[in-house]
Chain A
Amino acid sequence: MRWSCLLSLSASWLAAASPASAFIAYVSNEKGNTISVIDTDNWTVTATIKVGQRPRGIEFTRDGKFVMVAVGDDDTIQLIDTKTRQVVDTLPSGPDPELFAQDAAGKILYVANENDNTVTVIDIEKRTRLGDIQVGVEPEGMTVSPDGKILINTSETTNMAHFIDTATRQVVANVLVDSRPRFAEYKHDGSELWVSSEIGGTVSIIDPVRRVVTGKVTFNVPGLRSEAIQPVGVGITRDDKTAFVALGPANRVAVVDATSHAVTKYLLVGQRVWHMAFTPDEKYLLVTNGVSNDVSVIDVAAQKVIKTIQVGELPWGVTISQ
């Protein structure tokens, strides 16, 4: 009943000639074993897709045809057809995949497998495994440098960012950061690598050339004990001027001047904020709130939370169509 009602709703909305700015967001619900599909035009959930066990890392393929979602407890990555919104195939990750990154061409996928200290390299089109790279304990954060030459993996118990040469698939450098590094993000011009440390409570700024930590973003929310500030997801605007950092159980997203690395504002969002994604026009930023089961919509220019959308149980990751 609810299903058909939702379908007809979305159908009638489609018929009403959608404005060009409409995007589709997919949100992985870690406990619900579902994906909530959000229409960014009217900020409503238009569909809920059943997936495997414990969906977390989620991303569109570059051609927009599929959404890849790591279902950790099923030890695989599922592919959702964005037309039919059905799980149609899987990719051969290692045990307990969590986050992944793809190369610029959208051909190669690098997957962090939390359970066996490896990064798995996958040919997306052929759905085959090309190899494994040994990294530190509990690999998690993944990103590829803008020039495509370096893959970054963070390991949560080893507390490092591993620099991996994408051509040779060898670890070429390791940079120690604060405790439990969870997420890595390059500036678009490749001048800085940002790594969030959940337990350490900081974001390390790494010089990608010298491969050393050159600074740290620290956070201080009045009235909040420092242990509750646990940086996770990081998003940097395309002009590399502003960064947003999700602070977990601090229930806030920090707005950071990406040049001076100073926090300029804290935005109150839902409980235990995890990850984020910009709409392609960069007007909005969507962040997932794990404990309050919702997604906050941030107006990027105004730096304000404008909307909260109820999704499934324990939302974790989010990806938005181009």
Chain B
Amino acid sequence: MIRSLIGAIGLSVAATNALAADPLEIGIGYLRHAGVKSTLSLVEQPAGNDGVAGAQLAIEDNNTTGKFLSQHFTLTEVRLREGDDVVKAASTLAEHDGFIIADLPADELLKVADALRDRGSVLLDAGASDDRLREQDCRANVIHVAPTRSMLADALAQYLVWKQWKRWLLVVGSHDNDKLYADALRRAAGRFGAKIVQERTFEDTGGARRTDSGVTLIQRQIPVFTQQAPAYDVLVAADESEVFASYLPYRTWDPRPVAGSAGLIPTSWDAAHDQWGAIQIQNRFVKLNARHMTALDMQAWTAARMVGEAASRTGSSDPKTVFDFIKGKDFSVAAFKGQRLTLRDWNLQLRQPILLVDGRLVVSVSPQEGFLHQVSELDTLGVDRPETKCKLQ
């Protein structure tokens, strides 16, 4: 029986230009730290409004829709400075905004989630990719829009295995985040049949990312660092801290491609992505911000659009109604990834295809063909329901 009349959503607004009633106000907060991380490549240096610019575009998109439905969206951004109390800032935001997009480190996100739990505020995690936030440390009032490290690692691994580049030389940075990414890469190798032939650690010994004679030194260091490796097909780097990965391509001892934190990079978004109507949002973003759209911008856009989408479907500005709809089985959001994105109900992680990019173009999009799943092929990326440690409460 194929025909079905689901819900018959009959929302129709007559004569939009004659709307008399005040529009429903829907406030979204945005919580982040001031300042941006320093990158090895100057062209990848994030803008001061990285992330929040995406949320602003989504607010504009929501309001274009909202004008037909008499809904109005606003964004309030709080930039935390050194020494600011994150819980206090979040509580102040929560007085007006039922939803807060968070670009915060894992520990701060948990603190805020626990502090806001009783007042019914919902956090949309746009910046933290830690798997533990969706596993043992999951929270019932946190939606994760950012992909996890394990989703990113699985997306990369599927492609490398499809390419038959199964022998990996894994190079890991010395910071905690690098090690977490390496954990995800090791797990991915095991799941998809790749073999890590050797692991090396690249110690961060400090030093500036910009110097006047940097190239000469790097050109000598990297070949030495990568020599005498067992036979391998691809060097996979885990360097979230931006210490060394971008130095690897073209400088390895053996002529091998680089993937992970440099070379072929798994990411939720890239300024070069133009399939599935993406060119339209890229154009809108550039018009609004006079710069390219980053992965963080897209994660924040998607977060604010999810709220907009649920508000338009429910015709409500009540955070609980909107949140319940997002968690429900009828929710999906379109985000220029070629298919609908839905939430994993066991940990509130957004399912999404992952782009594999080389800095100039999108090389591929995972999940790769042939990686099958009984529920959604998107669940071949990351920790799946049977393995989850999350108990939402």
Contact = CB atoms under 8 A, between A and B. Distances in A.
A179 B334 contact: yes
Interface string A217-231: 111100001011010
A138 B280 contact: yes
Interface in B232-278: 277
A262 B65 CA distance: 31
Interface stretch (A21-29, A33-41, A143-151, A165-173): A165-173
Nearest to B4: A218
B38 interface: no
Interface stretch (A124-132, A206-214, A301-309): A206-214
Contacts of B283: 96, 115
Given A137-B61, A159-B312, A175-B12, A260 B339 contact: no
A158 B277 contact: no
B290 interface: no
A213 B332 contact: no
Max chain B CB contacts within 10 Å: which of A176, A177, A212, A218? A176
A117 interface: yes
B5 A215 contact: yes
B6 interface: yes
B12 A157 contact: no
Interface in A151-188: 155-160, 162, 170-177, 179-180
Report whether over half of chain A's contact residues are helix, strand or loop; otherwise say mixed.
loop
Contacts of B313: 176
Given A212-B10, A263-B3, A230 B339 contact: yes
Interface in B282-323: 283-284, 305, 309, 312-313
A216 B12 contact: no
A157 B333 CA distance: 9
B14 A199 contact: no
Contacts of B377: 225, 227
Interface string B155-196: 000000000000000000000000000000000000000000
A220 B2 contact: yes
Contacts of B68: 136, 158, 160, 162, 171, 174
A13 to B, nearest CB: 39
B16 interface: yes
A175 B11 contact: yes
B216 interface: no
A262 to B, nearest CB: 4
B339 A228 contact: yes
21 contacts: A115-B283, A155-B65, A156-B334, A170-B17, A173-B14, A179-B334, A180-B277, A199-B332, A199-B334, A199-B339, A199-B340, A202-B6, A212-B10, A216-B4, A218-B3, A225-B373, A225-B377, A227-B339, A227-B340, A230-B339, A263-B3
Given A137-B65, A157-B281, A199-B332, 15 more contacts: A157-B61, A159-B312, A160-B65, A173-B13, A177-B9, A179-B333, A214-B8, A216-B5, A218-B2, A220-B2, A225-B377, A227-B376, A227-B378, A260-B3, A262-B3
